[in-house]
Amino acid sequence: MADWNPGAYLQYTDERSRPFTELVARVPGSPATIVDLGCGPGHLTAVLRARWPQAQVTGVDASPAMIAQARAADPATEYVLADLATDTHTADLVISNAALQWVPGHRDLLTTLADRAAQTFAFQVPGNHDAPSHRLLREVAARAPYADAVGPVERRATADPAEYPELLARPGWAVDAWETTYTHVLHGPDPVLRWISATGAQPTLQALEAKDPALRAQFEEEFGAALREAYPEHAHGTPLAFRRVFAVATRA
């Protein structure tokens, strides 16, 4: 994948920020240092500062475009370009919002990330890999002529809430895990297509763009039609159910 598009991602800032706010509310204590893994364009640093105004925050992301956007919007915060799987920053609180699902084998990485937290390791990941939006993405991308350009679209499955305590609840740790399904009411033309095009569909769209911009346009038309059928528009907007899974591991 070439890189993320901060502008596209920030189209639904309020909806994408809600899970992080819920996650932060469940973090105990008063960390003096915080590492935000997968900080994106830095728009959620304000949530951390509102909760812990005196904390030193470091944002980490593997996307040059996201880090550039974060540094421009928030020059007072340190933002570091690094791979989440190999980053070695430590802090009282290590937190991650909707990023670990992009790390291959993220379950195997969890204890390593937790060990870098002096107090708490907290994260949220999407749990909607079998929702119509993602299932249709895989189905349409598997058809000709798209399949030759993109190959199989990975099903980026995350664990259910009961599985994360099994991975993180070691001696000296207490783990709180839960799930929330948000119903976002989106507006405008093809809102679900615009939502997923900024995140889950981004690698597929970029592969098609690299092959042939016309092929991408054809795919978006076909995928968009399938999404409109799966997510019909109502008088009040287009409802999008989005399941998310949370975990907060705290040193006892």
DSSP class per residue in 69-90: HHHHH-TTSEEEE--TTT----
Domain membership of residue 23 (yes or no) is yes
Which one, of 53, 139, 137, 47, lies nearest residue 95 by Cα?
Answer: 47
pTM (predicted TM-score): 0.90
Between helix 213-230 and helix 132-141 the angle, nearest 10°, is 140
Domain membership of residue 246 (yes or no) is yes
How far, in Å, are 23, 25, 47, 56, 148 from residue 52 at the CA level?
14, 11, 9, 9, 49
Number of domains in the chain: 1
Domain membership of residue 79 (yes or no) is yes
Domain membership of residue 164 (yes or no) is yes
* Residue 252 pLDDT: 86
* Residue 8 pLDDT: 65
Domain membership of residue 1 (yes or no) is no
Cβ atoms 76, 95 nearer than 8 A: no
Computed from CA positions of residues 173, 53, 246, 92, in that sequence, does the dihedral angle turn out positive or negative? negative
Cβ atoms 88, 209 nearer than 8 A: no
DSSP class per residue in 144-204: TTTHHHH-SPP------TTHHHHHH--TTEEEEEEEEEEEEEE-SSSHHHHHHHTTTTHHH
Domain membership of residue 72 (yes or no) is yes
Domain membership of residue 244 (yes or no) is yes
Exposure of 101 by Cβ count < 10 A (0-12 exposed, 13-18 middle, 19+ buried)? Answer: buried
* Residue 96 pLDDT: 97
CATH number at residue 246: 3.40.50.150
- Tens of each residue's pLDDT in the chain, 252 residues: 456 666 666 677 788 889 999 999 999 999 999 999 999 999 899 899 999 999 999 999 999 999 999 999 999 899 999 998 899 999 999 999 999 998 888 999 999 999 999 999 999 999 998 999 999 999 999 999 999 888 887 777 788 999 999 999 999 999 999 999 999 999 999 999 999 998 888 889 989 999 999 999 999 999 999 999 999 999 999 999 999 999 999 998
* Phi and psi, residue 97, nearest 5°: -120, 110
* Residue 158 pLDDT: 84
Domain membership of residue 147 (yes or no) is yes
Q: What domain range includes position 227?
A: 6-251
